[in-house]
Structure 1
Amino acid sequence: MSKRIVCLRHGQTLWNVEHRFQGHTDIPLDETGIAQAARAGSLLASLRPTLVVSSDLRRANDTALAVARLVDLDVHVDKDLRERGGGLWEGLTREEIASRWPQEYIAWEAPEGEDVADVAARVSAAMRRWAAKLDDDGLLVIASHGAALRLGICAMLGLPQELWSAVGGLGNCSWSVLEEGRSGWRLLEHNAGTLPEPINSDDIPVAD
């Protein structure tokens, strides 16, 4: 028996479609995102989660509720699971960001935004904190955000920062599964739940 964490990215929002950096801005799910959350909820409910936690931002919280309602659990809210802060980039499209801050865009470092190492540390700490509440065979569903989850997963796996870019992003309402083993956490699944498709996220852009 081992503890598992399902890292679930929230459903689609209008800003995802418009390729706008969301960050800490509290954007709701759009109609497609609501449908995605319902589908993911029905699939993940079959795994019988024992604990459901979400970011404090409503796009993640509403996604978590779609799972929790089906298994009669409450959704616990943790601000440390929110997305990477985008500073001056929040609300702007990728084209606007690239035009105004070409060097920062290449590095994907937003002025007045959050450093990736800080995001990885806070998200992984929250993951460990909630996982510690599980029984040995418990399943934790964490509803959060694209960049936050990818960085948190990298930290949970103990990857050095220079290798973080080797881990791909998460599509809307796709998930990754971590399992606790004798030597730490390992990745069982990544970006599951959909066929490969373009990913619109606050995470670092994929190079052309």
Structure 2
Amino acid sequence: MSRRVVCLRHGQTLWNVEKRFQGHTDIPLDETGLAQAARAASLLAALRPTMIVSSDLRRAYDTAAALGRLTRLDVAVDKDLRERGGGEWEGLTRAEIAAGWPREFADWEAPGGEPVTHVAERVSSAVRRWADRLAPDGLLVVASHGAAIRLGVARLMGLPEELWPTLGGLGNCSWSVLEEGRKGWRLMEHNAGTLPEPVQSDDSPEATQS
């Protein structure tokens, strides 16, 4: 048996609907997001997870808590699983960002924001740290955020930075499944759990296209 990790993106928030950059801002799930979390929990509970860990931001924690209630597992919290910090862009819509910072928008690099390399390293390190606690046949569910998961997964798989954009974004309450192989972690599923649809996330525009 191999250790597995399910990286679950949080449910919908009002700022997702309004296409606002959330970053570290602590936005709660909206009514739809709570329903999405309950649905995802019912599906993932069937996999019999053995451990759940979440970002400290409540949109992720409340998503994880729905699964915790079904599985009767405690939800651990790790700040390193937070979303990418958005600097001056947090709270702004994508249209406002494009109008105010056209050059930075093209590179998706927010003034005062967090570099993608830093996000990839902290998220992948956190996933490894928690996965190391699993039994050989254990299943870890990590509740986190769209850009954080995509970057962390890319780093975990050892993809060179120029290939990170080849991984698409994740819809709300969709997930990616990683399995540990003899030569490292393998991506078994990506953006699973929903039908293909446009992704509203803090991720780069090229990663969120439908």
Scaled by the length of structure 2, the TM-score of the pair is 0.98
Is 1:96 paired with 2:96?
yes
* Matches of 2:166 and 2:72, distance apart in 1: 37
Which 5+ residue runs of structure 2 have no aligned equivalent? Answer: none
Structure 1 stretches of 4+ moved >4 Å: none
Instruction: Give the root-mean-square deviation of aligned CA atoms.
Output: 0.8
Q: Distance in 2 between matches of 1:122 and 1:146?
A: 15
Partner of 1:119: 119
1:193 maps to what in 2? Answer: 193
Pairs within 5 Å for 1:172-183: 172-183=172-183
Q: CA deviation at 1:196?
A: 0.1
Find the aligned partners of 1:72 and 1:101 in 2 and give their Cα distance: 46
The CA distance in 2 between the partners of 1:199 and 1:122, in whole Å, is 23
2:157 aligns with 157
Are residue 9 (structure 1) and residue 16 (structure 2) matched? no
Q: For residues 7-86 of structure 1, what are the structure 2 equivalents within 5 Å?
A: 7-86=7-86
**Take 1:155 and 1:66, find their aligned partners in 2: how far apart are those partners?**
28
Partners of 2:80 and 2:134 in 1: CA distance? 19
- The answer as to whether partners of 2:49 and 2:138 remain within 8 angstroms in 1 is yes
Paired residue secondary structure (2:187): strand
| Secondary structure, counterpart of 2:140 in structure 1 | strand
Return the alpha-carbon distance in structure 1 between the equivalents of residues 68 and 46 of structure 2.
Answer: 11
Q: Per the alignment, in what secondary structure is the counterpart of residue 5 of structure 1?
A: strand
Counterpart of 2:134? 134
SS at match of 1:46: helix
- Aligned equivalents of 2:73, 2:130: Cα separation in 1: 15
- Alignment match, 2:110: 110
Aligned to 1:167: 167
Distance in 2 of aligned mates of 1:155 and 1:166: 12
Q: Does the CA-based 8 Å contact 2:165-2:206 persist in structure 1?
A: no
Aligned pair count reads 208
How far apart are the structure 1 equivalents of 2:66 and 2:191? 19
Identity of aligned residues (%): 75
Structure 1 length as normaliser, TM-score?
A: 0.99
For residues 131 and 28 of structure 1, the distance between their equivalents in structure 2, rounded to whole angstroms, comes to: 27
Task: For 1:205 and 1:67, locate their aligned partners in 2 and report how far apart those are by CA, in whole Å.
Answer: 30
Deviation at 1:206, TM superposition (A): 2.8
Q: Name the CA distance, whole Å, in 1 between partners of 2:69 and 2:203.
A: 29
- Specify the code of the residue in structure 2 equivalent to 1:17: V
Aligned to 1:87: 87
Per-residue CA shift, 1:66-102, capped at 9, x if unaligned?
Answer: 1111111000000000000000000000000001100
